[in-house]
Structure 1
C-alpha cells in the first residue's frame, strides 16, 4: 500500500514530509462535525488527528469515523465550519511563509 504524503514547506527551520502514521505520533484530538450536503442531506462525522494550530482550532484529520486515511491523506477539519463542501481532503502540502508572529491574533 502506498501512503499519502504531506509536505510542510516554506519559512520553516525544518521542512518535513509526513504520512498519516507520522502524524499519529503527535497528541491526538477528536472533533465531531456536521454539515448539510445538497445531494445527500445532513452528514455527521468524527475526525481524529493532531491540531495544525491550536489558536485556529484546525485539525489534521488522520481518520474519519474510525477509518484511517492512510491512502487518501489527511484532511483539514474546522469543527465550527457549517458546510462540508468546504472541507479540504487529500492534503499533500502546507506552505508556511514569513511575516506571521506566533501567538499574535
Structure 2
C-alpha cells in the first residue's frame, strides 16, 4: 500500500508494517451492506497516525489549512472513497478510521488493509483491499 500526495515522505507499507510500526486500535462496528447488516471487529492503526507519519505538507501561513485536506482511499478493484482531514483529526471530529490489518481476528495480509468508517450507518466507506491513500488539498 502506498501513502502519497501532499506529504513530505512517500510511504510503501505492508499489512505487517501497519501492524508493527503503529499503535493498534480495536473497534467493533455495525453497518448496512447490500447483503444486510454486518457486524465485525477490526484491529489496526488509525488512518490519522499513518498519515501523520508521512508528514502532511500543511501550509502554516493559512489558518486551519489542514481542514482543506482529504484522503482518497484507493482499492485493488478500482473502488475509491474519501475521508476529510477534519473527520480523522482528534482536534476536530476525531473519528478513529482504521487501516485494519485484521477482521474478526483474521489477518488481512492477503487482500490488503481495510479502511473502517465507524459511525457510518452504511458500509460504502469500508474500503477493502486498500492499495493507496492519496492526501489531497481542496480549494485554491
Give the TM-score taking structure 2 as reference length.
Answer: 0.61
State yes or no: 1:63 paired with 2:102: yes
Check if 1:50 corresponds to 2:89: no
Is residue 2:15 matched to residue 1:20?
yes
| 1:83–1:12 distance in 2 versus 1, CA, 3 Å | same
Instruction: Work out which of the residue numbers 7, 11, 25 in structure 1 matches 2:6.
Output: 11
The answer to whether 1:75 aligns with 2:117 is: no
1:66–1:10 CA distance, 2 compared to 1 (3 A) = same
2-structure distance, mates of 1:7, 1:29:
21
The equivalent of 2:30 in structure 1 is 34
Structure 1, residues 61-81: CA drift from partner, whole Å, max 9, x if none?
A: 111000000010011101111
Give the structure with the larger helix fraction: 2
Flag the structure with higher strand content.
1
1:92 paired with 2:131, answer yes
Q: Aligned-pair RMSD on alpha carbons?
A: 1.9
> What is the count of residue pairs matched by the alignment?
94
Which consecutive residues of structure 1, in runs of 5 or more, have no partner in the other structure?
A: 1-5, 100-105
Instruction: Tell me by how many angstroms 1:97 deviates.
Output: 2.9
Q: Tell me what 1:103 maps to.
A: none
Q: Determine the C-alpha separation between the residues in 2 that align with 1:42 and 1:92.
A: 26
